[in-house]
Structure 1
């Protein structure tokens, strides 16, 4: 376990960390929950993930290069590391293989699916299961548009925003909340329902007794899927809130649809989706305190049911890490 992952409640989980297209010939350095990670492709194009810190003098391996043998070379003294993290060569030093094993770099399990690179946040290069990848991202005939940007916010505030329905007629009154805004009256009420799923929960919101239009899924720990109802069509927005550090979150957006594939219409639809994201940004970045506090420290109401379920999960998970307790099973019900 690395301290940064534990402090953010993200130890021993799968999370996307980058788009596949971001890792090509050169290594990619990134920060995940305060921990430095380097992604690179070996000689066959297979992805690898290591701690972005040479064990020799602590420099970033991401500043180095990948050799013809698929090993990552440190830019400082030329030490070389394989995809498994083992040290394969230390120039100017005649060390046998058994001694070089002492100079290995921490490796992480990594997968490339659905246009994203997924990393398992337990050091060691192995994972007990596979990441949950939304079906639409790998479904034939579906156009997936990708976008990423970094917010000045803690990932929990960004995640709660993505699970929150009551803000739609206010923050998004000119886009996806327009219809809701038009129907809303001074005496209107909203009912928020929540059902548990193997990947987290699904929430439905209805106003004034009108059946809910679409649904929203929490993809534990840091993902969201908005299911937009279009008869005979598939339209989903996926968002992952990737913690960079205590004050920054990288937002990874994947919009999936089985219509409007051709440019320039496809570009217009994708631009509309990023517009929705930008409507949220300034609001979320203004949150104080930066990290979502325990439930009792802010005033909440019935329409906060989904966000409170996430918040309880997050703080309970952090407590478990502090106590050294094992992680909860994937299907453990959430208190709501």
Structure 2
């Protein structure tokens, strides 16, 4: 049961799965790593996450409704389930609470932080730790913009793209990579550094020994933070590559800044961020094989150091199943 998480190297992790604004009064069904989940809010607005499958006859609970008592009601026979999965009512079958316990739905730990809804990919009421939510997403005075779209790609290919600096002057030459493209010469050299952090690793890039401009953080397992250096200003972009199934990934973008917060300038910059994301889509969706393969099956070079560090972590994790590696290994030196 729920093998999809382990199959995608995604067992026992926190991940955002939806934007807060997507979950209203009606149940919200979604697929995460091939497994069906349903999010719903009780009468006080608190969000819950259940396996989107009634334990009675296997129908989607997301097709049901939230009852006045804040429980999720199955559309087939009206069984009701509380936030923790407990079955609170079985119509036409009066049973005491102790007997209803065996009819519970499968629940998942869930948090609502930073305008996103986070789920821990292990069934149960508790998670061993809290999600790592970037503090800037909850900081007063910061403009936070949320956007999501689905790509026809495996999440590992999307994640590697987000950690890859060398593609900027080619894929993004008309946007964020324009300055880098102008500075490139036929004999230019880019140096990539990768340093482990408590939440994954930080990677920086330098072109022709010039100082590094900004940095990328991998937020294990499927997040990226782009730190953009602007004097006396704050600007950070976040991306989570959320696996839907083997062929689809939900790209969840969060933009944060302490300037250009008012319309219409705010909307213009937010649309610019969406344009950058669109530039990546066709390239990533063309990747073959769809899932990132073992390191030896593709030809890599020194500037692939960051993406290979992620790939080795992912492949090792899949081999181990739900047990997370104790440390993130940096890719070994490559031929320059």
TM-score in terms of structure 1 length: 0.97
2: CA distance, partners of 1:145 / 1:212: 27
2: CA distance, partners of 1:44 / 1:271: 34
Q: For structure 1, which segment, 30-39 or 88-97, has the greater mean C-alpha deviation from structure 2 after superposition? A: 88-97
Q: Which residue of 1 aligns with 2:229?
A: 229
Aligned residues: 331
Q: Which residue of 2 aligns with 1:217?
A: 217
2: CA distance, partners of 1:58 / 1:149: 28
Cα shift readout 1:78-137 (whole Å, capped 9, x = no counterpart): 000000101111101122222211111100000000000000001012101100001110
Q: Name the Cα RMSD after superposition.
A: 0.9
Cα shift readout 1:301-320 (whole Å, capped 9, x = no counterpart): 00000000000000000111
2: CA distance, partners of 1:314 / 1:56: 36
Which residue, out of 310, 320, 328, partners 2:325? 328
Q: Which residue of 1 aligns with 2:78?
A: 78
1: CA distance, partners of 2:24 / 2:262: 26
Q: Secondary structure at the match of 2:121?
A: strand
2: CA distance, partners of 1:190 / 1:335: 18
Q: Secondary structure at the match of 2:170?
A: helix
Structure 1 segments, 4+ long, off by >3 Å, are: none
Q: Which residue of 1 aligns with 2:334?
A: none
Residue pairs, 1:87-106, within 5 angstroms: 87-106=87-106
Residue pairs, 1:284-295, within 5 angstroms: 284-295=284-295
Cα shift readout 1:157-188 (whole Å, capped 9, x = no counterpart): 00000000000000000000000000001000
Give unpaired runs (5+ residues) of structure 1: none
Q: Which residue of 2 aligns with 1:134?
A: 134
Q: Secondary structure at the match of 2:299?
A: coil
Is contact 2:158–2:284 with CA below 8 Å preserved after alignment? Answer: yes
Q: Secondary structure at the match of 1:256?
A: strand
2: CA distance, partners of 1:223 / 1:327: 16
Cα shift readout 1:278-308 (whole Å, capped 9, x = no counterpart): 0000000000000000111110000000000
The offset of 1:270, in angstroms, is 0.1
Q: Secondary structure at the match of 2:122?
A: strand
Cα shift readout 1:236-271 (whole Å, capped 9, x = no counterpart): 110000000000000000000000010000000000
Q: Which residue of 1 aligns with 2:21?
A: 21
Q: Which residue of 2 aligns with 1:118?
A: 118
Q: Secondary structure at the match of 1:123?
A: coil
2: CA distance, partners of 1:204 / 1:328: 23
Residue pairs, 1:204-283, within 5 angstroms: 204-283=204-283
